[in-house]
A and B are shown apart, each in its own frame.
Chain A
Amino acid sequence: MISLHGVSKTYNEGRPNQVTALHGIDLAIAPGVTVFMGPSGSGKTTLLSLVGCMARPTTGRITLDGEVISSLPERFLTDLRRRRFGFVFQRFNLIRGLSVLENVMLPAAPLGEERAVVEARALARLESLGLAGKARMPVEVLSGGETQRAAIARAMVNDAPVLIADEPTANLDTALTHRFLDIVAALRAEGKTVILTSHDPRIIAAAPVTAVVEMQDGTVLEVRS
């Protein structure tokens, strides 16, 4: 469904600190659970942001269900992104001072849905992740695992078909890593596509993973599925 054709990404173009993070990537991502793996600096996160419509490639083409999206104006890219992708960031990035529920509802704000509808959906998602009891609490009181699950609830509040997570288990112990993999399996069962970056062998070997993309120095070394 998502394909990249000769995609490169250069940051700080024309400036002394110019850096090319990706070199001519050709890749197709099928439904299922895909993991981008590789050492830090290999371009995993940049690739994730391009796949997730967060940024536009410097050269090359990206298509989503056959439609070229790499040259869309930022506004439409954003609109596409918030309906199609949910993001979980490495540091989770919940907004402090707001309640868990308020945080989870944030991505829905620009879409103009009825407040009650969004709230019901957010509560259902929190419930399925075992956070129903903490919905009205400020996010500061959450533990590490709970914070991650709140971030997943926020990513899925618009019912996006694709969940994207950057290094989701970097800050988790083994028990919580397994819990995360259970959630991924559950999302998979719902029919969602999940795209992760990781260098955690436990993730790569895990049952729900359907494809592994190994990266190095901004190029794809190998795709296993």
Chain B
Amino acid sequence: MIFHTPILTLLLVSALAALVALWSAGFGLSVLRRWDLASCSRGQLMMERRTELVSTLFAMVMAAEAAALSLFIFNADRMAALFVGAMCAVGTLNVNGYGFPALYAQIATFFAAAVWLVLDHVDRLGRDYPLTRAKYAAVLAIAPLVLLSGGLQLAYFLNLRTDVITSCCSKLFTPANAGISDEMAGVDPATALWALGIAGGLVAATGIRALRSGRGHGLFALAGAGYFGAALVAMVSTIALYLYENPNHHCPFCILKPDYGYIGYAFYLPLFGATALALGLGAASPFAARASLRAPLPAVMRRLTLWALAGFAAYGLVTVWVILRSHLILFG
């Protein structure tokens, strides 16, 4: 364990998130058992008011997790100096077997909380709160994820040992190494960009169709998830090369550093935000036919779809801009 202030902060965030998750899960159980909007009892009214607290807490958890996610990477990058062989966040995350799982779990938690908030938003549009049971069933599924993410993070920090020799991004993200990361790095740049372009086309097509017809948000969510994957592959295999102007540097984390003008945030903020919205829309779409949602829902879905499309487009535009501006020539 390294006694570092950012580590203490991250653990504090995890602990608070775990507390919220446990409490909400307990409350979720009683909602599943006793929720009855037709009842005018005091107990039901109290439960209704308690859902306001849960919504507020989840919004806070999502905001804190999003902040913690960038802090986690930032801190890993900063700690690289402590580990032999580590040059950026990748090396630090590789110091023990919990680093990358902790990162992935945290990303999953962020998406889960965001999707839940979209469901919550949709639920509160309907005069009979049509999604309440589904929403609290989802809380029961999200709670273990939050706990797992906190646990992985704790295990990662407790097992940080400075005498371990780790490998840096140039080792991990090279086609010569076995594993997912190098397969991503090994994808041919042209293929990766084509895939990103096709995914972008699908997202645009499904998104516009959803905007026009007010339906098909499930497909839009699928296309969005596909775009997310394609965007990450393109980042590791191609965009990173243009950014660093180096045909062998594939790291998706170094772009978050001040050395590159924090440009990584211009990529990841819209991408993560748009993906979260798209997934949320997909999760809400099965409920669109509910009687109480028929009037208020389409306008909201439309607005969220527009925001998601804007986010995906921003990622694509930043990509094009980076490639045009770069001095590296991969195709010529």
Contact = CB atoms under 8 A, between A and B. Distances in A.
A57 B41 contact: no
Contacts of A71: 37-38, 40
Contact of A58 (B40, B127, B129): B40
A56 B45 CA distance: 9
B49 interface: yes
A140 interface: no
A201 to B, nearest CB: 36
B37 A13 contact: no
Interface string B1-39: 000000000000000000000000000000000000110
Residues of B contacting A: mostly: loop
A72 B49 contact: no
B40 A76 contact: no
Contact of A74 (B38, B41, B49, B128): B49
Interface residues of A, number: 12
A75 B38 CA distance: 15
B127 A13 contact: no
B40 A57 contact: yes
Nearest to B129: A73
Interface centre among A70, A73, A74, A76, by most chain B C-beta atoms within 10 angstroms, is A73
B279 to A, nearest CB: 26
A71 B40 CA distance: 7
Contact of A56 (B40, B49, B124, B128): B40
B42 interface: yes
B40 A72 contact: no
Interface in A30-80: 56-59, 70-76
Interface string A67-106: 0001111111000000000000000000000000000000
B136 to A, nearest CB: 15
A119 B49 CA distance: 31
Contacts of A57: 40
Given A72-B127, A73-B127, A75-B124, A13 B40 contact: no
A13 B129 contact: no
B48 A73 contact: yes
Interface string B41-60: 11001001100000000000
B38 A13 contact: no
Contacts of A56: 40, 45
Contacts of B49: 74
A76 B127 contact: yes
Interface string B285-326: 000000000000000000000000000000000000000000
B45 A13 contact: no
B40 A74 contact: no
A7 to B, nearest CB: 10
Nearest to B42: A13
A74 B37 contact: no
A162 to B, nearest CB: 20
Contacts of B41: 13, 58
Contacts of A76: 127
Nearest to A56: B40
Interface of B: 37-38, 40-42, 45, 48-49, 124, 127-129
Interface of A: 13, 56-59, 70-76
5 contacts: A13-B41, A56-B45, A71-B38, A71-B40, A75-B48
Given A56-B45, A59-B40, A71-B37, 16 more contacts: A13-B42, A57-B40, A58-B40, A58-B41, A71-B38, A71-B40, A72-B127, A73-B48, A73-B127, A73-B128, A73-B129, A74-B45, A74-B48, A74-B49, A75-B48, A75-B124
Nearest 10 pairs between A and B by C-beta? A56-B40, A76-B127, A13-B42, A71-B38, A74-B48, A73-B48, A58-B40, A73-B129, A72-B127, A57-B40
